[in-house]
Structure 1
Amino acid sequence: MNKTILLSISISLFLCSCGSMKNMATNPQAFKYNYCTPTIPYLSSSGFFEEKNPTDLSFTTVSLNKHDQLLCHLLGISADLNELLLLKKDGPTINNSYLRLKQKISSRIALAQSQLTAVAAELDCEGERSDMAADYLDGLNSKRNRQLTVGSVIVGALTTVAGAVTKNNTQTIIGISGGLVSAGLGAMTINPKGKKVEFYHEHNLLRAIWREGEKNSDYPDFVWKMLNEKEFSTNGNVTLIKSIKSRWLQFEFNGGVDVDEEKLLFGNGGFYRSEDLHTRSAMINQLQSTIRSIHQDFISLMSLVDSI
């Protein structure tokens, strides 16, 4: 009888562990590689937004606020806009020079906005990819906990039955052993280590933000310029990059980040746990919100260009 009961307990534990190992072996290729990376490098347009004359230009016919002057400088259209304003001042005639300048200015603004939209789209894709992988791991971890709970209940039940049909010392041993096994299974559900999934991102938009001050290798030229200008932040005291990183440190890392976690999140990826994927997704969402908000900086300048 004792052998039969112990065999039943062993079989129950084996079944639970087999289910867990089977899930652990699962490694969806859909999450492994970064399908959100742009097919054409952003930096192929580097130099397009360079200002011919890096010094501040005074606009002869209209007073531009400091914000729009800086935006014109980053777009490389200060001289062109000034020339367009002069042509408009000389008379209402719309000639080829006027049309050429207005088209050039409008195209430059459109390209800058397209770069912002492209980065936001990549972040949106990466955020969804992180969420999908995290949800997958959450499902595995939840199933693992259910299996451990069932195993704990089975062991407890079998221990009770064994204790009822055995005598004295044997009953005590079975009771203690079964209690320890059941307690161990219960403890594993309270603090599970969790499973991992391979998740890589060689083109990592979080990296350049975290390593502020280093040469940009991931962002379009214009977007990177905007992120490094203090004038486009809310208070004007720090760059958008510093502001984003500060929020990450405060809300995602509680003021400090583990070395291994830093290497994983801001490097090329590796084996992710669910909580790491949720952290990555949260940072991506915050960065995406900042990138989208830059579109607001174009409103007054576009209104001016449209009125000319």
Structure 2
Amino acid sequence: MLLVAVLAGCGGSLDRVRHLEPVRRAASCARITDVPWTALDRAAGADRTRVEAMPDDVRRVADAARLDDAMLGDQVVLVEHLLVLHADLGGAIAEVDCLSDQLEDLQSELAERESAFSLTLTLVSIGVGALTAIASGVIDLVSDDDISSPIIQIVGGVGATALGVIAFFPPDESVTLDHERNVLRVVRDARDAEDVMRAPFVMRLLVAPRVDGPSPRDELERRWSDTFALVDDDMPALLFGNGGRYDREALRTRELVLEQLEAELQLLRQDFELLSRFLFERPRDASRPTTP
């Protein structure tokens, strides 16, 4: 029975060193630096007549990009600036996607821990049943005691049944996550894009209202509120804090919230494409040769 207790107690902690590897990989999701390039932090020039004449949806992106007429008049400078902005947006999307993948890996690891616990108890239950049958048979062969064999069978049967039942209810595995660098908190708390050093172009787009509705950040807050209405009240504090103990439900919730953020960032990529097309694509009629 001591062996049974030891195996049962260790079932949920098998190979914990390997299981913690995704936590150690968390830092690899972070961007190389929090300090923005000068091109991202520049102030727009005073002359913005051409920018103001743009369609409203295009001007929203141009304002976030801090374009001005001087930049629009220099194709080389304009292209270089847009490349930097594209890299800033791509870096933000890559970081959020990496964090989401990490959480998915952690959920798989916790599921493996619970499966290992159940498998261990199942094997022990089978072993207890087999040992009980062997012991009962040996006693029947070598002894005339009519009570020993039934007692062993009853005790062994109860033990095997108890282990089998426990195997169906593994303990809730959890893991500690530290995220002082919390992209969710940055997006939630940044009321002014100028307060953010990380991905300033992305943040300016997130807080800028769309022509036909609220800002992407406001839309995110609405979706997050709907998500948090379905979970424990203390879940937001965990997700937006500096870290804590995560079970599988908390990991799933954080992954969902990050996926919602990533979806909004992908829409920002479409906004950036809208600006690029406006600046560089010629109308079809303009590219056709004129006939005499």
For normalisation by structure 1, the TM-score amounts to 0.71
Matching residue within 121, 124, 137 for 2:94: 121
CA contact (8 A) 2:39 2:84 kept: no
Could you tell me which residue of structure 2 aligns to residue 203 of structure 1?
A: 181
Matching residue within 61, 64, 77 for 1:71: 61
**Within 2, Cα distance between the matches of 1:186 and 1:280?**
33
Secondary structure at the aligned position of 2:177 is classed as: strand
**Within 2, Cα distance between the matches of 1:282 and 1:121?**
16
Q: Which amino acid aligns with 2:218?
A: K
**Within 2, Cα distance between the matches of 1:47 and 1:18?**
53
CA contact (8 A) 1:75 1:222 kept: yes
How far apart are residue 200 of structure 1 and its match? 2.2
**Within 1, Cα distance between the matches of 2:125 and 2:221?**
44
Does residue 275 of the first structure (1) align with residue 249 of the second (2)?
yes
Could you tell me which residue of structure 1 aligns to residue 233 of structure 2?
A: 258
How far apart are residue 228 of structure 1 and its match? 0.9
Matching residue within 261, 272, 284 for 1:298: 272
Matching residue within 60, 73, 76 for 1:103: 76
Secondary structure at the aligned position of 2:205 is classed as: helix
How far apart are residue 119 of structure 1 and its match? 0.6
How do 1:30-45 residues align onto structure 2 when only pairs under 5 Å count?
30-32=22-24, 33-43=26-36, 45=38
Matching residue within 196, 202, 213 for 1:223: 202
How far apart are residue 307 of structure 1 and its match? 5.2
**Within 2, Cα distance between the matches of 1:68 and 1:217?**
23
Structure 1 residues 266 and 160, CA, compared in 2 at 3 Å: closer, same or farther?
farther
CA contact (8 A) 2:196 2:203 kept: no
CA contact (8 A) 2:7 2:121 kept: no
String of CA shifts for 1:110-142, please: whole Å, max 9, x gaps: 222111001111122222222222222221211
**Within 1, Cα distance between the matches of 2:132 and 2:226?**
49
Structure 1 residues 191 and 240, CA, compared in 2 at 3 Å: closer, same or farther?
farther
**Within 2, Cα distance between the matches of 1:105 and 1:74?**
14
Q: Identity rate of aligned residues, in percent?
A: 21
String of CA shifts for 1:30-89, please: whole Å, max 9, x gaps: 5235222122114455972533449xx5549x95211112222222214336xx5xxxxx
Q: Which amino acid aligns with 1:192?
A: P
**Within 2, Cα distance between the matches of 1:213 and 1:145?**
48
Q: Which amino acid aligns with 1:191?
A: F
How far apart are residue 162 of structure 1 and its match? 6.4
Does residue 11 of the first structure (1) align with residue 17 of the second (2)?
no
Structure 1 residues 214 and 192, CA, compared in 2 at 3 Å: closer, same or farther?
farther
CA contact (8 A) 2:13 2:113 kept: no
How far apart are residue 299 of structure 1 and its match? 3.0
**Within 2, Cα distance between the matches of 1:163 and 1:207?**
63
CA contact (8 A) 1:196 1:274 kept: yes
Specify every segment of 5 or more residues in structure 2 that has no aligned partner in the other structure, as ranges: 283-292
Structure 1 residues 110 and 187, CA, compared in 2 at 3 Å: closer, same or farther?
same
Secondary structure at the aligned position of 2:175 is classed as: strand
Secondary structure at the aligned position of 1:197 is classed as: strand
Secondary structure at the aligned position of 1:271 is classed as: strand
Aligned length: 274
CA contact (8 A) 1:194 1:273 kept: yes
**Within 1, Cα distance between the matches of 2:17 and 2:153?**
33
CA contact (8 A) 1:46 1:221 kept: no
Q: Which amino acid aligns with 1:222?
A: F
Specify every segment of 5 or more residues in structure 1 that has no aligned partner in the other structure, as ranges: 1-8, 85-97
CA contact (8 A) 1:207 1:266 kept: yes
Does residue 247 of the first structure (1) align with residue 223 of the second (2)?
yes
Could you tell me which residue of structure 1 aligns to residue 286 of structure 2?
A: none
